[in-house]
Amino acid sequence: MLKTVYLRFLSIIVLASIAVTVMISSLPISSDTCKCETSSDLDRQHEKLHSSFKESTKSLKPKLAVLVPFRDRFDELLRFAPHMSTFLTRQQIPFHIFVLNQNDRYRFNRASLINAGFMQVKDHYDYIAMHDVDLLPINDNLKYEYPAEGPLHISGPAFHPKYHYPTFIGGILLLRVEHYQRLNGMSNRYWGWGLEDDEFYVRIKEAGLEVFRPQNITTGPDNTFLHNHDRLHRRRDTTKCYNQREVTRRRDRETGLDTLLYSIKQRHELTLDGVPLTVLNINLECDKSQTPWCECDSKIETKTRVDSKKKV
Ligand code: UDP
Ligand code: MN
């Protein structure tokens, strides 16, 4: 009798423990056992994405990284990504778009953003396009081909909507990774709008590289590109302070890829109308002993605040 009771008790214990095990295993994973992504996980994912990008485009064609210097241009980006994807796919170019989003609070620095973007892509791609977000090519004869012999300036002065001087090199410029490295990239001294491209032109010339431009283009400044640039709402930051004007008129032999100070704060993989994009949130650092004009507005603002306080 005692034995039967004991056996019943034992079988209840066994059944109960099986039931508890089944219940626990069907519960959702609690937050403290969650395999949350760490930044090194993200790095690995990114690595995988890009190595698989290289492998998946089985062709032997060189791979293009489209580097887009960027801040506060969301509407332009919404047009840019689908347009460029259609345009480059028609040319069968293996490409990926990198939005180089300036995340710090200094004045916009197009050249340093391109330097930072280059550092991120140089081991995975064969050539880069430094590409304004508001300049959309509409002539299919503008070929974004591998610039084997030297920099290929897609938005040449004969077809750019706005700039027509012969040494103009801005807008859209393609370079082999090796050539950009050889030039030590662009100068890091250009905070605010303008002149960084003109300095880069001199670098190219001094390095003995020849600039190429698309041939057999029958369209002109009005019908080769769409310049999605609203002058009223997208004001250019042309302020000059300290000795900025004087310094930025000169060729810079000191700064470039090897002096760039930056960090990547986040990396986001997005899809925009089906187009994969990588957004890099970039924090540029400014050495104020070298380029105090990375913040010339704040000085004026402080003064205004003090003045307005006085009035009160
Ligand atoms: N840009 C940006 N945010 C800014 C200023 C410039 O994203 O606040 C980027 C954007 O890609 C733009 C490029 O830098 O197309 C060149 O600037 P902008 O169009 O003002 O110059 P421009 O048309 O006179 O060459
Ligand atoms: Mn523009």
CB atoms within 10 A of CB 196: 24
Compute the distance from residue 78 Cα to the ligand 1 centre, in Å. 15
3-class SS at 227?
strand
- Gap between the Cα atoms of 185 and 251, Å rounded: 13
* pLDDT surpassing 50 at residue 168: yes
Query: What percent of the chain clears pLDDT 70, i.e. is strictly above it?
Result: 76
In testing the pocket of ligand 1, which one of 113, 133, 191 has its CB within 8 Å of the most ligand atoms? Answer: 133
Is 79 touching ligand 1 by the criterion CB < 6 Å? no
Q: How far out from the chain centre does Cα 283 lie?
A: 12
What's the fold here for domain 60-311? Spore Coat Polysaccharide Biosynthesis Protein SpsA; Chain A (3.90.550)
Closest ligand 1 atom to the C-alpha of 68? 11
Residue 170 pLDDT level (bands cut at 50, 70, 90): very high
Of 235, 228, 277, nearest in space to 79 by CA: 228
Q: Is the pLDDT assigned to residue 201 strictly greater than 80?
A: yes
Phi first, then psi, for residue 283 (nearest 5°) are: -105, 115
Buried b (16+ CB within 10 A) or exposed e, 134-172: bbbbebeebbbbbbeebbbbbbbbebbbeeeeeebbbbb
121 within 8 A of 285, measured Cβ to Cβ: no
Q: Specify the pTM.
A: 0.81
Q: Where along the chain do its domains lie?
A: 60-311
What ligand 1 atom has the least distance to the C-alpha of 73? 7
* Chain segment 260-309, per-residue pLDDT in tens: 999 999 999 999 999 999 999 999 999 999 999 999 965 454 443 333 33
Q: 113 alpha carbon to ligand 1 midpoint, in Å?
A: 12
